[in-house]
Amino acid sequence: MTMDVDVTISVTEERVRPLVAALLRAGFASRTDDLEAFFARSRVIPLLHRRTKMPLDGHRAWETLGLPVTSPARGLREQEQSVRAAPRARS
């Protein structure tokens, strides 16, 4: 079993705050006292899924050497998407 979840998030700088706000409303909590300052230093959004207690580290993707963030070979484009945490199956 994994100890945490690492996610690379392809969003523009302007969309980071609204994304974090939506995640906080959807059952995630910050794992740091000053989430905005932590993100400014590290480009990481450290969250915790409250119900499952699973840590999640969101890493903002960025362009390097003028290459796109997502892979054109896979046919992906940056687009705004709605993200929901699926309910965990009970065993």
pLDDT of residue 66: 55
Dist. CA 28–CA 12, nearest whole Å: 21
The one-letter code for the residue type at 91 is S
pLDDT of residue 78: 40
Model confidence pTM above 0.85:
no
Reference 82, options 30, 13, 23; nearest CA is 23
Evaluated on CA atoms 77, 78, 80, 83, the torsion sign reads: positive
pLDDT tens-place values along the chain, 91 residues long: 668 899 988 888 888 899 999 999 999 999 999 999 999 898 899 999 999 999 999 998 875 555 555 544 444 344 334 445 545 555 4
Domain range list for the chain: 5-62
Dist. CA 47–CA 4, nearest whole Å: 10
The encoded tokens of residue 66 equal: 């003028």
